[in-house]
């Protein structure tokens, strides 16, 4: 018998949540096309009315489930009962059928203590030492929750996700993992599966995963982002600064359209402080982490052949919607 964990995004707003349920089959060919469609009660996930509540689950990506015996994790798109993409289905809006766009997402998050409603490393009363000592740190006074982070890295690798690294971030209890894929849809699939695995590991330790972009509010602590590194054939082969300027300038007139899908409450994070550009401005520059879009110095050193980093998406953003909007904008510059 084979266990399949069908995973999807619900209809909660402004931030969708992960949902999943287990399907048992006698055998599995190992081919995506042989995974059956399934359904769920959309009235319980804000995706359908109670009188007509069936929503469909269409498998689109799967990996081995390293935490269960003879099991797989199956990422699904949500469809209406008539087979059309549901309004909450951001993946279906991505225009990248030839996988020309490559994405690397840098996913930041806080490990959160539900007992005192603070990040790991924060005392019940007051605050730890100011941020600065925690970034890429080691030691009991600096790194909090490493067991969780290391276990998550191991299961991501064992599952076959293309995780490229992890590090402790600027604030206490804040961490990051990076995932890259050649193809926007798969990049989103892998981020969501990695988020799912982290949430499930958190259950084991009694620790919550806080994806909010500014969980410590206006205090002098960094927020959390999901920086989007992206390229297509044009950017990878340009060899010309003018091409990069043209692509970056294509983002200027559509700032609000990007902010709309870059995660809720981003005005709390994009203040112009803590390595962010103001939400009201648009800027780009070489090696500038205070810009809206950073042009990596490696791209310049390779003769203007490489990628760009949009630093505005926040940690709770849907990578599908982020990628869809970036692709739409870049295509206007072609």
Instruction: Concatenate the DSSP letters of all residues of 35-67 into one string.
Output: SPPEEEEGGGTTSS-GGG-EEEEEEEEEEE-TT
Residue 231 sits in the same domain as residue 256: yes
- Both tokens assigned to 39: 């359904």
- Quick one: pLDDT at residue 303? 98
- How many folded domains does the chain comprise? 2
Domain that holds residue 32: 2-89
- Quick one: pLDDT at residue 8? 98
SS3 189: helix
- Quick one: pLDDT at residue 201? 98
Q: How far is CA 156 from CA 17, 24, 67, 152, in A?
A: 20, 23, 10, 6
- pLDDT tens digits along 212-228: 999 998 888 999 999 99
Low-confidence ranges of the chain (pLDDT < 70): none
Write out the DSSP string of 196-246: HHHHHHHHHHT-EEE--S-TTTTSSS---BEEEEEE-HHHHH---HHHHHH
- Quick one: pLDDT at residue 219? 81
Q: Is 228 within the bounds of a domain?
A: yes
Residue 149 sits in the same domain as residue 253: yes
Residue 73 sits in the same domain as residue 116: no
- Quick one: pLDDT at residue 273? 83
- Quick one: pLDDT at residue 164? 97
- pLDDT tens digits along 159-211: 999 999 999 999 999 999 999 999 999 999 999 999 999 999 999 999 999 99
């Amino acid at each position: 018998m084979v266990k399949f964990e069908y995973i999807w995004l619900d209809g909660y707003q402004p931030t969708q949540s992960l949902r999943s349920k287990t399907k048992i089959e006698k055998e599995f060919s190992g081919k995506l096309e042989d995974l059956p469609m399934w359904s769920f009660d959309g009235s319980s996930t804000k995706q359908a009315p109670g009188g007509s509540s069936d929503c469909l689950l269409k498998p689109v990506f799967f990996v081995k489930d390293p935490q269960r015996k003879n099991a797989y994790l199956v990422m699904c798109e949500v469809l209406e009962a008539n087979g059309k993409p549901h309004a909450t289905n951001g993946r279906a809006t991505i225009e990248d059928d030839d996988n020309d766009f490559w994405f690397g997402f840098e996913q930041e998050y806080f490990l959160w203590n539900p007992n005192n409603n603070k990040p790991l490393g924060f005392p019940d009363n007051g605050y730890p030492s100011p941020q600065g000592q925690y970034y890429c740190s080691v030691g009991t006074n600096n790194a909090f929750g490493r067991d969780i982070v290391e276990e998550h890295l191991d299961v991501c690798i064992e599952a076959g996700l293309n995780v490229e690294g992890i590090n402790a971030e600027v604030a206490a209890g804040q961490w990051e993992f990076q995932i890259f894929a050649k193809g926007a849809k798969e990049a989103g699939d892998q981020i969501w599966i990695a988020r799912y695995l982290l949430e499930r590991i958190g259950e084991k330790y009694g620790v919550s995963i806080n994806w909010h972009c500014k969980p410590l509010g206006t205090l002098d602590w960094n927020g959390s982002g999901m920086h989007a590194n992206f390229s297509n054939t044009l950017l990878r082969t340009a060899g010309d600064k003018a091409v990069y300027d043209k692509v970056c300038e294509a983002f200027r007139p559509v700032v609000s359209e990007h902010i709309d899908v870059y995660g809720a409450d981003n005005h709390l994070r994009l203040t112009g402080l803590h390595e962010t550009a103001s939400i009201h401005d648009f800027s780009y520059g070489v090696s500038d982490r205070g810009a809206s879009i950073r042009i990596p110095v490696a791209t310049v050193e390779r003769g203007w052949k490489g990628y760009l980093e949009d630093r505005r998406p926040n940690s709770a953003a849907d990578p599908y919607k982020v990628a869809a909007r970036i692709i739409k904008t870049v295509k206007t510059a072609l």
